[in-house]
Structure 1
Amino acid sequence: MTRKTADDFHPEVLKLFDQYVHGQASRRDFLTGAAKYAALAGVTASGLLAALSPQFAAAQQIKPDDARIHTSYVEIDSPTGNGKVRGYLVRPAKLSGKLPTVLVVHENRGLNPHIEDIARRVALDNFIAFAPDALFTLGGYPGDEDKARELFQKLDQTKTQEDFVVAAQYLQKLPEGNGKLGVVGFCYGGGIANFLATRMPELNAAVPFYGRHADAAAVANIKAPLLIHLASEDERINAGWPDYESALKKHGKPFAAHIYPKTQHGFNNDTTPRYDEAAANLAWQRTIDFFKKHLQG
């Protein structure tokens, strides 16, 4: 079967899906809005939604039991957050000295199989990766993307942000780590990456993928270099980019930003048709090179 891409869907369907994924439209809203485009394509609106939804098993790159890595789930106390944080800790099976650490922050569905796979990919590039689950105190990622989005709306975001601060501090202090910390996040996680850059002066590198930009008033606090990845067809996120870019320049902050042509929000997520292989590969290589430059040694 030929894998579908964003080009197989009407732009309005992609916009509707983005609104649905981010809680700005209900499932019924999507189905109603997509119906006429589905009819033109000779499918049902439900079929369009299914085609756009994640296919975790098909996209998995590294199996959880891969002999090259060691994985475990770790719980840590988060007294300023939601009380506890649980996350997926991944490191190379064979340690060659102390390694840099990278916090991996999920989208707005919690720690799903795709983000666990991302953490394994990071570890195979000789980092220690830790991917927390913001939904842990609500029962954890429920195994269903719709239910996960519903749970996400129940989070106290102020406390959840503190959970990520605690997780980052835990990771940075790991005995196997070299004391240097990076963060990479996607969508919601990209927003957390930007937030941590303003909150943690000890952060050494931050890589937000199409995430909510940091508040302009907080940009002066940033110490870590930023590598910012944006999708060209992402009106919702890109609307705030000029102000963020202006604030970064005003305060002389070290950053590089890349806007990938003809890409959709979520272009790095290889479980859905919005994935763009060329852009994702380039962005990922830039990310790993960036972490090696700022975290190693």
Structure 2
Amino acid sequence: MTLEIPFHEWGSASSAAPGILLLQEIFGVSDYIKERAADLHALGYYVIAPEIYWRLDDTELDESAPDLMPRAMGIVQRLDWDQALADSVAALEYLQARGRRTAVVGFCFGGGLGYNVAAVASPDVLVSYYGSALPRLLELRTEAASLHHFGNADAFLDVDAIVPALTSTNTVEVYRYDGAGHAFDNPLPMFHNADASALAWRRTEDFLARHLPTTQG
């Protein structure tokens, strides 16, 4: 199976490794997202990160620019959600066609998009970091083993309202981090909370090891 969407990959599609679909923040497939992809590949996974903005023009972002946030918000507001969902589902199907188990891992914009993907396309595992679109997606359900991370100081999401709604018959783990705001895993100084980031990543590694092992046992 071929994939029309431009994507970055870590590892070989022909390998026996489980596949992970990594979904970007509003800043695109940034250096940070590429670093997380490399981290996941180091754990033994085949990882792809599609360019969700590929249908749009003028999407280049300078993370050091003072207008980073308004520029990024302007780009994501031009994005067709249904088309982004269809592209992401196609990327997951590309992974599923390999005959290996799969996970969706998403951050912020990608965390919400990943939740939507998991509800319609059945990956084995979902890891969502502070999914920004979750408030309007909570009527959806997924059978994927699911892990959610939220900062208790998130000024963008009403975490108290979201967490009780994240219930279903599948395996769901939710962690909240005191003092951490939205996008706390992103290394940019305006977002980063080092303690929350490190703890959340350890929990992500543990969750993936339990629910998407890289070796046959």
TM-score (norm 1): 0.63
The percent identity for this pair of structures is 25
Name the Cα RMSD after superposition.
2.2
Q: Which of 21, 30, 44 is 1:126 aligned to?
A: 44
- Segments of structure 1 that go 5 or more residues without pairing to the other structure are 1-74, 78-84
Q: Which has the higher contact order (CA 8 A, sep 6+)?
A: 2
The 1:140/1:126 distance shift into structure 2, 3 A limit, reads farther
The SS at the match of 2:100 is: strand
- Corresponding residue number in structure 1 for 2:3: 76
Within 5 Å, give how 1:82-97 maps onto structure 2. Answer: 85-91=5-11
TM-aligned CA deviation for residue 271 of structure 1: 2.6
Choose which of 153, 164, 174 in structure 1 pairs with 2:77.
153
Q: Does residue 1:269 correspond to 2:152, yes or no? A: no
1:209 to 113, 129, 132: 129
Mapped to 1, the partners of 2:153 and 2:207 lie a distance apart of 25
Q: Is the 8 A contact 2:143 2:169 kept in 1?
A: no
Question: Where does 1:127-276 land on structure 2 (aligned, <5 Å)?
Answer: 127-139=45-57, 141-145=59-63, 146=68, 147-174=71-98, 179-201=100-122, 203-211=123-131, 212-213=133-134, 215-219=137-141, 222-239=142-159, 241-242=160-161, 245-246=164-165, 248=167, 251-276=168-193
Matched, 1:279 2:196: yes
The question of whether the paired residues in 2 share the 8 Å contact of 1:105 and 1:186 is answered with yes
Structure number with higher helix proportion: 1
Shift of 1:139: 4.1
Q: Which runs of 5+ in 2 are unaligned?
A: none
Provide the TM-score with structure 2 as the length reference. 0.84
Rg (Cα) greater in structure: 1
Asked if the contact 2:163/2:174 (under 8 Å) is kept, the reply is no
The superposition leaves residues 112-132 of structure 1 with CA deviations (integer Å, 9 ceiling, x where unpaired) of 221112111111111111111
2:29 counterpart residue number: 111
Give the direction of change, closer, same or farther, for the CA distance of 1:89–1:141 in structure 2 (3 Å limit).
farther
- Residue 182 of structure 1 aligns to a residue in which SS? strand
- Tell me the amino acid that sits aligned with residue 130 of structure 2: Y
Of 157-166 and 271-280, the range deviating more from structure 2: 271-280
Q: Deviations over 1:130-170 (max 9, x none)?
A: 11111112247514353444222211111111111111111
